[in-house]
Structure 1
Amino acid sequence: MKITVDATIQAAIEKVWQAYTTPEAIVKWNAASDDWHTTTASVDLRVGGEFSSRMEAKDGSFGFDFAGTYTEVVPHQRLAYRFGDRAAVVDFVVEPDGVSVAVTFDPENIHSIEQQQAGWQAILNNFKCYVEQSE
């Protein structure tokens, strides 16, 4: 079973892609709630390239690294990556009302499917807000 979250962002594909793939932007939107933030991010945007982001509770009580390796990079269309023994695919589709971004990923075994879907959707919703509100 895989989980998919999606959002339509009202912006040009170039802006959406840039915001999703550059460390300077990732640290501004990559959080599931207001009490979390991403303190650092790195991206080597090529097949075999690695990425990572450090996510931390703002109160300093907990943090973790989300890292993986890109397995497919098609600019303005698709990113695929492995993280641990799991995989994810991010599809970018230009539509009349914006860019549809769909993230499909393998679930883990600790949290419920609903919790995982809600968390990943919250991050994607933050991404949408960031892109639509930034200049």
Structure 2
Amino acid sequence: MNTATAQIRITRTYPVTPDKVWRAWTDPQALSQWFGPGTLPSHATAVIDLRVGGEYLISFAAPDGETHTVSGVYQEVEPARRLVFTFAWKGTPDRVSRVTLELAPAGGGTELRFVHDRFFNQKARDDHARGWPVFFDNLHAFFKESAP
């Protein structure tokens, strides 16, 4: 794979502050409400040790009822600005990829720039490219439902 095809890049703008987007990705209670491919609330479980070198573990049920678990290690933690972590599924722990989130204020909301790279192969990249947009739609719905 070349570098361009080996990445997934998604940019979304959410109508909330960078702090709220940060919390959605780093607070176990918030993350458990939206992370997953099903409808909200997702009822995922998350354990997060938010520090460089800290680990996370997230489990969620797919619409077919199958449970999926992903884990990794935080490599960069810049609150409300940047988060970088490794990403590996429980069933394929040797296939470690990387996720980078960058947050920036944008027109009264937050622009989230997401890059997922370092995939094991093209199939893994393509599978994630199909899945992530659903998660981001859930994140948008989470912000709409949790609005004051």
- TM bucket, shorter chain: 0.7 to 0.9
Aligned to 1:34: 39
Residues 21-67 of structure 1 show CA distances to partners (whole Å, capped at 9, x for unaligned) of 1010111100123399443101111100101100223553x212110
State the percentage of identical aligned residues.
Answer: 28
1:52 is paired with a residue whose SS is strand
| Paired letter, 2:70 | F
* 1:91 corresponds to which of 94, 99, 102: 102
Aligned to 1:71: 75
Q: Give me the whole-angstrom Cα distance separating, in 1, the residues matched to 2:26 and 2:126.
A: 26
Which has the larger strand fraction?
1
Aligned to 2:142: 130
Correspondences of 1:40-59 after superposition (within 5 Å): 40-57=45-62
Aligned to 2:93: none
Please report how far the alpha carbon of residue 116 of structure 1 lies from its aligned counterpart in structure 2 after TM superposition.
Answer: 2.1
The higher-RCO structure (CA 8 Å, 6+ apart) is 1
Please report how far the alpha carbon of residue 76 of structure 1 lies from its aligned counterpart in structure 2 after TM superposition.
Answer: 0.7
Rate the CA distance shift 1:25–1:64 in 2: closer, same or farther, 3 A: same
TM-score, length-scaled by structure 1: 0.86
- Please list every run of 5 or more consecutive structure 2 residues that lacks an aligned counterpart in the other structure: 1-5, 89-95
TM-score, length-scaled by structure 2: 0.79
For the aligned residue pairs, the C-alpha RMSD in angstroms reads 2.3
Residues matched between the structures, number: 134
